[in-house]
Structure 1
Amino acid sequence: MSKVVLITGASSGIGKSIAHYLIEKGYIVYGTSRNPREKVVNGINFVALDVTKTETIQQAVKEIAEKEGKIDFLINNAGMGITGPIEETPDDEIKRIFDTNYFGVIKVIKAVLPIMRKNNGGFIINITSIAGYMGLPFRGIYSATKGALELTTEAFRMELKDFNIKMTNIAPGDFATNIAAGRYHSPIIKNSPYEKKYKSTLDLMDKHVDKGKDPLIMAEKVYAVMQEKNPTIHYKVGEFIQKFSIALKHILPDKVYEKMLMKHYKL
């Protein structure tokens, strides 16, 4: 029987690329979108799901389980970006991104786990970010959401061992997607003490995304990890320097690493 995959945030970007790649490999793919216009798009079976609304999560998971009898893989890809000086970032926006990038993911996992446990197995892949390994200037809140998910996955893995349910993180670097257009930007406030440095950092971040890698690379990595019988805890996908920066953080003294980041962002 074909394996059933549920991918959150599958209507664009990395999620869409993963979905199409897995369909080519013979998987039955369900993708989520808050307001899908069509039930099936290029082979992706869409279900309405908003990760911030528990009732939509439960309804979507129930719908898939009733139709397919199982969910073999869950790929938590839905998320949003946020930039801005932490001091000037509205509290409501901070809460909103945590609801999406962290609490929403936990809610989806909780909804799917009973189905996987009933079927004596499953595999959950959380799409995090290389930014989750370090506190980046003017991206501190985003880094915090992804870092929290990385650590939570570590704990979850140990709790799920008895149920034959696997879990891992895959952390992408910069990929050519529409994330820059969809993320929340704290406004650049004229005469703010952060005005010049925030603007220059924001311009640099947008350039990195524009020059990012093809999302197909992420799709290929996700598929490769799905084939592993004993997956490791953390995977990184991106430019060599992005992945190497994580290794450097474990090697360099904290202040030296901080200076390196500030030099990179011209702060």
Structure 2
Amino acid sequence: MNANFGKTAIVTGASSGIGRASAESLARAGFTVFGTSRRVIGAGPGRVTMLSCDVTDGESVDTLVSAVLAQTGRIDLLVNNAGIGLQAGAEESSIEQVQALFDVNLFGVVRMTNAVLPAVRLKGGGRIVNIGSILGVIPAPYSAHYSAVKHAIEGYSESLDHETRAFNIRVSVIEPAFVRTVFDQNGIKPDCMMKEYDQARAGVDTLLRDVMPKADLPEVVAEVVLRAATSERPRRRYTAGKAARQVSLLRRFAPAEVFDKALRKQFRLPV
């Protein structure tokens, strides 16, 4: 019998990209999957029940979790994927904009996790998989606030894993690099754009146009999500895709000056 049959999974931000691919992968593996999006969509992922949920709204999160429990009576897996992007010079965003970014990408994860933990604990165990980023390991220019929130996800996930192991609940964070999704196109723009950063911003835009056609498909990340969700001995961290593995190894073993120069060269910055 399929070991995942009868298990219930929630995947936030499942209308497209990594979330959609992960929801479909988990459904094929035997999970009963509920995907979420802020607005109800017509055609959701195959074999996935889509429900509306705004992760910045505690009442919306509680309503979602209650609806899933009413239908299945259990929650075995939460994949925290919902998020927004922001590429800008650090001083180009107001405090309010940075707070909005953290409200979705970090506090949304905390709201969802706090809402499902009682049910997962009552059932005797389960998994929480958080979609992080290689930028949570290696900050890059013009992603200061996004890198900060992904670093926060790394620390939150590892601390939470230590706390929940007593209840047979394991927490993993997935670290992809560039992925072929509409994520970057749907990211928010800086609300205090400055002419001093026009040239550098154009360089980052050029970089994205160059790398995105060759970036990993969302299915590459979805495979790693499934591995973290089903492995008997899950790791706390998983890189996802060739580029993420290469950058992670380079950061670990290359001299700091060499890595710094390579990073600045990639972003078209003077070395």
TM-score, normalising length from structure 1? 0.93
TM-fit CA distance, 1:189:
5.0
State the partner residue of 1:107. Answer: 111
- Residues 41-85 of structure 1: CA deviation (Å, up to 9, x unaligned): 632111111111111001100110121110111001111110111
User: Quick check: 2:77–2:126 contact (8 Å CA) kept in 1?
Assistant: yes
Per the alignment, residue 185 of structure 2 pairs with 181
- The answer for the alignment partner of 2:165 in structure 1 is 161
1:205 aligned residue: 208
2:87 is the counterpart of 1:83:
yes
1:25 and 2:29 aligned? yes
Identity %: 32
| Residue number among 51, 73, 81 corresponding to 1:69 in the alignment | 73
1:246 corresponds to which residue? 248
Please give the alpha-carbon distance, in whole angstroms, between the structure 2 residues aligned to 1:86 and 1:41: 36
1:56 aligns with 2:60: yes
Question: Alignment partner of 2:261: what SS?
Answer: helix
Q: Against the structure 1 CA distance between its residues 80 and 86, is the aligned structure 2 distance closer, same or farther, given a 3 Å change threshold?
A: same
Distance in 2, Cα, partners of 1:187 & 1:118: 44
Which residue of the other structure, out of 238, 260, 264, is the alignment partner of 1:235? 238
Q: Does residue 116 in structure 1 map to residue 120 in structure 2?
A: yes
Give RMSD over aligned pairs.
Answer: 1.9
TM superposition shift of 1:258: 2.2
Compute the displacement of 1:40 (Å). Answer: 6.7
Preserved contact between residue 38 and residue 46 of structure 1 (Cα < 8 Å): no
Q: Which runs of 4+ in 1 moved over 6 A?
A: none
Q: Is the 8 A contact 2:130 2:174 kept in 1?
A: yes
Q: Is the 8 A contact 1:180 1:209 kept in 2?
A: no
Is 1:93 aligned with 2:100? no
Q: Work out which of the residue numbers 190, 194, 198 in structure 1 matches 2:197.
A: 194
Contact map agreement 2:132 2:175 (CA 8 A) in 1:
yes
Work out whether residues 84 and 187 of structure 1, in 8 Å CA contact, stay in contact via their aligned partners in 2: no
The 10-residue stretch of structure 1 (194-203 or 242-251) with the greater mean CA deviation from structure 2: 242-251
Contact 1:7-1:75 within 8 A present in 2 as well: yes
Aligned to 1:182, the other structure's residue is in SS state: coil
- Name the structure 1 match of 2:221: 218
Q: Alpha-carbon deviation of 1:253? A: 4.3
